[in-house]
């Protein structure tokens, strides 16, 4: 089994995010998506997300190409 991992914030999810996940899944059999946490976004980027980590996680988990979401 070939696993693929991608990373992002996925705040204000849009078509570009969807297409990225679609292309990433096409590269392998199992797609893992790492989503930046609220703490990381604030401490590392000084950026506050519109949606919380849990909300962003639920949205990305609902995409059919995604097999696992991790922080």
Give me the catalytic one of 3, 47, 48, 57: 47
In whole angstroms, what is the distance from residue 7 CA to residue 69 CA? 10
CA distance 28 to 15: 21
Is 47 one of the catalytic residues? yes
19 in catalytic set: no
Q: Given 3, 19, 25, 45, which residue is catalytic?
A: 45
Q: Between β-strands 30-35 and 3-8, what pairing exists: parallel, antiparallel or unpaired?
A: parallel
Q: Which residues are catalytic?
A: 45, 47
């Amino acid at each position: 089994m070939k696993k693929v991992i991608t990373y992002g914030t996925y705040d204000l999810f849009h078509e570009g995010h969807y297409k990225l996940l679609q292309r990433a899944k096409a590269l392998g059999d199992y797609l893992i998506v790492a989503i930046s946490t609220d703490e990381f976004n604030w401490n590392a980027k000084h950026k506050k997300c519109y949606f919380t980590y849990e909300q962003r996680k639920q949205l990305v988990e609902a995409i059919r190409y995604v097999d696992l979401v991790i922080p």
